[in-house]
Structure 1
Amino acid sequence: MDNSWDSLKLGHTVGMNRSHRLPPDFDGRPFSTAEGSGAGLTKKRMRASDLARPYPATRTPRGKNNSVNLLIHTYAHRMSESDFFSHVTAARVHGLPLPYAVERTQTIHVSTEAPALRDRVRGVRGHHVAPQTVTVVDVQGLHVTSAVDTWCQLSTMLGLDDLIRIGDALMRRKHPFATTRDLLTAVRRYSGHRGVKLLREALIWIRPGVDSPRETDLRLLIVRSGLPEPEVNGLILGRTGVKLATGDLVFRRYRVLLEYDGGQHRTDENQYHWDVDRLDALMEETWRVIRINKSHLRNPPEVIRRVTVALMAGGWRP
């Protein structure tokens, strides 16, 4: 585990008088020592025990949640104009799905086009990128590599299925980051780089319109088991043309629908009742609905058995 946050362990300042309080603009947020000096804070005040120093020339109030998100925003206060977040850190900022082990790390990834300016600070991994080879965008006030360039960079750090999940997330059904053409263009541009072979393989499996990484996992399990490939988030209409559902994974020819049930399907009462009504409507239209949750995915053979039985009942033959 990285130790970037060792200096941010919980602490409390007792008897802090009014003259030692931080300016209101600094309340609860990280700031640079240059900002502090500009606001009239003395060096002694910025060494006080109520402020932590996760990185040189930065301060953040103690007692704040030691999340990676706070570390990112803290480090942003010491970045130069040529620096930008990249790789895993950029993926976090974009909200792209990462494997659990990677999600836990507190290492911050920062890239620059000027190798001489690459920061060498504990808890920060610096990268050099050739000029004009990546697109840098602004997300929540942070300079980060574009979502598509971030996916390409991660090909040197993640496995095939991780890249497929992220690729599906880039072309998600609602508010997608990219199109298939965008990914193809990016992979061609990445030709010659380490990891491009894995990106090309991931492209074969990536599909547009996916809603969650679990849907991706379920689809990969189905197809890799030799079953026909389902339609992703397909529109299902009734005999009268009324919409019955947008199905997660649809075997239209065999009238079989696979639905992945996330936690909200159990905890949201309105969602639960809507699911019941929708299931009844689909059954009236002779659709076979198979509902899968996280626990089912721990037993892949049983999932395949259930889907196979349903497909064969609908007329499919191996």
Structure 2
Amino acid sequence: MTMTGIDERRPFLRRDGLAAGITRHRLDGPAFHRLFGTVRVSGEVELTPSLLAAGALLLLPDAAVSHHTAARMLGGIVPHTEETHLTVARPQGRRRRPGLRCHVGPAVRTRRVDGLRVTSPEQTFTDLATHLTLVDLVVLGDSLVHRDATSPDRLLEAAAGARGPGTALARGAAALVRKGVESPMETRSRLLLTFGGLPEPRVNEWVTDEHGRRRYRLDLPYPELRLAFEYDGRQHAQDAAQWGWDVGRREWLDGQGWRLIVLRASDVFTTPWATVLRARDALAQRGFDIELPRQPPREFALHFPGRPWAGSR
């Protein structure tokens, strides 16, 4: 709290800053972030989704934080957007301000997050069915479940009760949400395999030793085949300690008859169909043979387009 009585580290309206004695020159200078035209906050603070939402609600106090902003505040993972999203009950309640996106609809399911009224994880999920792709919506669902914000069953129930645009997508995505997924790339790797026509792997299951003790957890295992797929980001190759641990784990798994196949970003985003065929071959070598076309089916390519020339061999 400053001598003016304004807590400059929390959003406030410019007019309130003027009334408290802060000069126009200072309010409109580099000392403050300028939010949504007329909202100010100290330039020294980080503009988190929660802080931006608090600033937006100064303009629309009866609104609810929703969509992408609500997802982030709830711990979910969604594509980046520069806008802060609110939902108002009536069209005339909207405000046109830079950086602010107003949606119209009933925010009937809300909870308090950081003291702000935010749409529930279930409503946020169904609301975003008109804004996200199927894969991104499953990523959101998996991430909300991982943060214990909701459960697959609650998302299924919410999607079943939804009406209007996006309903079919919400129901399809909710049916694909799984418990135990720890990263967006785990979600994408799992969907890559299943959309490619392969059996769905388990999610983050433990491998035990001969004494029944848990030794290692595998991202996407087929336990009956002793085959597993894992996504590894660049940090594994750059961290010497992590790399050494990975080598030791792989040697132990090899000794137990497991085959571990590592997927990288390019396998998912650049050559997705080639990755499916590679996985098909690995399954076949373990006794599970399945016929797949040389070229990706249209439905698969919609979700994992990759590069036009990639995916056949």
- TM normalised by structure 2 equals 0.80
> Which position in structure 2 is the counterpart of 1:13?
none
Residues 266, 28 of structure 1: CA spacing in aligned structure 2 closer, same or farther, 3 A cutoff? farther
Once residues 301 and 122 of structure 1 are traced to their aligned partners in structure 2, the CA distance between those partners, rounded to angstroms, is: 41
Alignment-derived partner of residue 66 in structure 2: 86
Q: Which amino acid aligns with 1:53?
A: R
Q: Which residue type is aligned with residue 97 of structure 1?
A: I
Residue 157 (1) aligns with residue 131 (2): yes
The percent identity for this pair of structures is 32
Give, as a single letter, the amino acid of the residue that structure 1 aligns with 2:40. Answer: R
* Equivalent residue for 1:59, pick from 40, 44, 60: 40
Output the CA distance in 2 between the equivalents of 1:273 and 1:79.
53
Q: Partners in 2 of 1:23 and 1:268 — Cα distance?
A: 49
* Residue matched to 1:120: 96
Distance 1:307 1:64, change over 3 A: same
Alignment partner of 2:205 out of 216, 225, 234: 234
Q: How many angstroms apart in 1 are the aligned matches of 2:174 and 2:47?
A: 36
User: Do residues 253 (structure 1) and 229 (structure 2) align?
Assistant: no
Where do 1:262-281 residues align within 5 Å? 262-281=233-252
Q: CA RMSD in A?
A: 2.8
Task: Call closer, same or farther: CA 1:37–1:231 in 2, change over 3 Å.
Answer: same
**1:136-191 Cα distance to aligned partner (Å, 9 max, x none):** 2222333211122111001111222221221222222xx3222222012211221x
**Cα distance in 2 between the residues matched to 1:316 and 1:44:** 72
Secondary structure of the residue that 1:110 maps to in structure 2? strand
What amino acid maps onto 1:134 in structure 2?
V
Cα distance in 2 for residues equivalent to 1:52 and 1:171: 34
Aligned equivalents of 2:174 and 2:124: distance in 1?
15
Q: Which letter maps to 1:187?
A: A
Matches within 5 A, 1:187-202: 187-190=159-162, 192-202=163-173
Shift of the alpha carbon at 1:68? 6.4
**Quick check: 1:46–1:59 contact (8 Å CA) kept in 2?**
no
| 8 Å contact kept, 1:244–1:282 | no
Distance across 2 between alignment mates of 1:117 and 1:76: 12
State the match for 1:17 in structure 2: none
Equivalent residue in structure 1 for 2:214, among 240, 243, 261: 243
Distance in structure 2 (CA, Å) of the matches to 1:200 and 1:85: 23
User: Given the superposition, is the C-alpha separation of residues 54 and 87 from structure 1 closer, same or farther in structure 2, using an over 3 Å criterion?
Assistant: same
Q: Does 1:107 align with 2:88?
A: no
Please name the residue that 1:15 is paired with: none
Deviation string 1:2-54 (CA, Å, 9 cap, x unpaired) is xxxxxxxxxxxxxxxxxxx875974555323465367x324646645344533
Cα separation, 1, equivalents of 2:37 and 2:65 = 18
Aligned mates of 2:200, 2:225 — CA distance in 1: 12
Segments of structure 2 that go 5 or more residues without pairing to the other structure are: 291-313
What's 1:14 paired with?
none
Q: Displacement of 1:235 after TM fit?
A: 1.8
Deviations 1:236-258, CA, capped at 9 Å, x for gaps: 11223121211100111111011
Question: What does residue 307 of structure 1 align with?
Answer: 279
- CA 1:247 to 1:52, structure 2 compared with 1: closer, same or farther past 3 Å? closer
Structure 2: how far apart are the matches of 1:270 and 1:35? 53
Distance 2:6 2:233 in 1: 40
Q: Which runs of 5+ in 1 are unaligned?
A: 1-20
SS at match of 1:232: coil
Provide Cα deviations, 1:204-230, integer angstroms capped at 9, x if missing partner.
Answer: 322222111111111111122222221
| Equivalent residue pairs, number | 287
Tell me the distance in 2 between the aligned counterparts of 1:301 and 1:115.
Answer: 45
DSSP 3-state at the match of 1:289: strand
Give the match for residue 97 of structure 1: 77
Mapped contact 1:239–1:285 kept (Cα < 8 A): no
Distance, in Å, in 2 between the alignment partners of 1:96 and 1:213 is 10
